[in-house]
Amino acid sequence: MSAAKKSVLVIFTGGTISMVCDQQTGALRPAGIENFKEFMPELFHSEINVEFLPFTPLIDSSDVNPPMWAKLAHLIDSNYNDYDGFVITHGTDTMAYTASALSFMLENLTKPVVFTGSQLPVGILRSDAKENLLTAIEIAAEQDEEGNAVVPEVCIFFDSRLYRGNRCTKKNAEWFAAFKSYNYEPLAMAGVHIKYNVHLIHYPELNKPMRLRTKIDTGVAILKIFPGITEEIVRAILNIPNLHAVVLETYGTGNAPSNKWLYDALRQATQSGIIIVNKTQCVSGSVEMGRYETSLNLMNAGVLSGYDITTEALLTKLMYLLGENNDVDKVKELLQISLCGEMTIE
C-alpha cells in the first residue's frame, strides 16, 4: 500500500523570491502567485500536495511588524490540522526576526514551519528560488516511520542548509548563502540526499497540543555600546516612555566601559523595573558575566545574561515574554531558560 500523499501549505508573504521588476521605477516590488505558476510549474505537479496561501498585504520584509507575526501564527494555527507541514516564503531582510518570533508564538510545535526566500527573484534564470523553495517543501513534508515530523521546529532553509530559525542572522546581502547560525550547527544539509542532524532537533511533547501565544509588548529597545557613547545617549534611551526592556549590545564576552555614570544609569533603570539583557556584539560565542570586572559591574547593576542568543531572538523573546506575562520576575526567570532552543546555557 502506498503512503498517503503529504500536504504542505505554502504561505507567501512577498520578498525577493516572488518579486518582479517595476517597468517604471526599475525597482523590485512584491508580486502575486502568478510568478510561481509561470516559473515553477513543477510545484503544481509534485509528489507532495502543495497549496498556496497569499498573505495580505504582500510585503517587502522591511515592512514586517509584530501584528504581522501574530497574523502568520494565526494562519498556521487555523490550518494546523489540514497539512503535514508549512513553508513561509519571506524576504531575507527580516526573516530571522519573523522566524524567531514564530518560534515563541507557536508553543509545543509538532509540525515543521520552514521559512525560505531567495536572493534573486524566481523569474531570473540564475535564481536560487527554485532550489530553496522545493527543498523547503520537501523538508516540511518529511516524516519518520511513525508518521511524526522529522523537524517539528520553526526553521530557515537557505542555500542547502536547514537552520533553527531563532539561531539565525542574515549575514550576507549579496551571496546565496545569506544566513548563518553562528552558535548552533545546521539541523540538516541538503545535497544529493537531505541529511538530518537528528540529535540537534528539538522535539515537542507529542501528547500535548500546539498552543498559540501571540501577545506582544513592543516596549523594547536596543542600546548598542560604542567607544565614545555619552551619558545623554544612554539616558535618552533608558528614559523612553513605556520602556519595559532593553537589549544591551556589549563588547566581547559582555563587557562595557567602566564609567560610573553608565552603571548608575543602568542600575536606576533595572531598579525601576526595566529588564536589561546583555547581548554580545560578536556574532559567535557567549556572554560570560563576571569574567571581567567590566561585566561584573553590569551584573551588579541588575543586568541579566543573554548567553549566546542572537539579537533577533532576544528582541522577539522579550516582546513575547512581556506580552504574555504581567509579572517582571517571571519574565526574568524565563529569560534565563532556553524555551525552544534559542540559546545554550552551560
Query: Could you give the residue numbers annotated as active site?
Result: 16
In the complex, the smallest distance separating the C-beta of residue 165 from ligand ASP, rounded to whole angstroms, is 15
Residue 121 interacts with ligand ASP (CB under 6 A): yes or no: no
**Is 278 within 8 Å of 249 (Cβ atoms)?**
no
The smaller minimum CB distance to ligand ASP, of residues 122 and 245, is found at 122
Residue 25 interacts with ligand ASP (CB under 6 A): yes or no: no
C-alpha cell belonging to residue 265: 544609569
Residue 98 interacts with ligand ASP (CB under 6 A): yes or no: no
Residue 85 interacts with ligand ASP (CB under 6 A): yes or no: no
Q: How many residues bind ligand ASP (CB under 6 A)?
A: 10
What distances in angstroms separate CA 101 from CA 17, 107, 184, 304, one per listed residue? 21, 11, 18, 20
The smaller minimum CB distance to ligand ASP, of residues 93 and 308, is found at 93
The smaller minimum CB distance to ligand ASP, of residues 127 and 297, is found at 127
Identify the residue among 16, 250, 255, 310 touching ligand ASP (CB under 6 A): 16
Residue 112 interacts with ligand ASP (CB under 6 A): yes or no: no
- What CA–CA distance (Å, rounded) separates 116 from 127? 13
**Is 136 within 8 Å of 127 (Cβ atoms)?**
no
Residue 137: helix, strand or coil by DSSP? Answer: helix
Task: Name which of residues 48 to 67 contact ligand ASP (CB under 6 A).
Answer: 60-62
**Is 88 within 8 Å of 58 (Cβ atoms)?**
no
- What CA–CA distance (Å, rounded) separates 266 from 278? 11
C-alpha cell belonging to residue 237: 534611551
HSE, CB side, 13 Å, CA atoms: give it for residue 331: 23
Residue 169 interacts with ligand ASP (CB under 6 A): yes or no: no
Give the number of other Cβ atoms within 10 Å of residue 80's Cβ. Answer: 17
Residue type, 335: L
Residue 307: helix, strand or coil by DSSP? Answer: coil
The smaller minimum CB distance to ligand ASP, of residues 117 and 152, is found at 117
* CA quadruple 134, 135, 138, 139: dihedral, nearest 10: -140
Identify the residue among 6, 9, 10, 15 touching ligand ASP (CB under 6 A): 15
In the complex, the smallest distance separating the C-beta of residue 69 from ligand ASP, rounded to whole angstroms, is 15
Residue 133: helix, strand or coil by DSSP? Answer: helix
In the complex, the smallest distance separating the C-beta of residue 277 from ligand ASP, rounded to whole angstroms, is 26
Residue 297 interacts with ligand ASP (CB under 6 A): yes or no: no
- What CA–CA distance (Å, rounded) separates 165 from 168? 6
In the complex, the smallest distance separating the C-beta of residue 219 from ligand ASP, rounded to whole angstroms, is 25
Identify the residue among 66, 117, 165, 341 touching ligand ASP (CB under 6 A): 117
Residue 142 interacts with ligand ASP (CB under 6 A): yes or no: no
- What CA–CA distance (Å, rounded) separates 298 from 278? 8
In the complex, the smallest distance separating the C-beta of residue 61 from ligand ASP, rounded to whole angstroms, is 3
182: Cα separation from own chain's centroid? 14
In the complex, the smallest distance separating the C-beta of residue 53 from ligand ASP, rounded to whole angstroms, is 18
Which span (87-95, 153-161, 219-227, 263-271) binds ligand ASP, by CB under 6 A? Answer: 87-95
The smaller minimum CB distance to ligand ASP, of residues 158 and 320, is found at 158
List of residues contacting ligand ASP (CB under 6 A) = 15-16, 60-62, 91-93, 117, 119
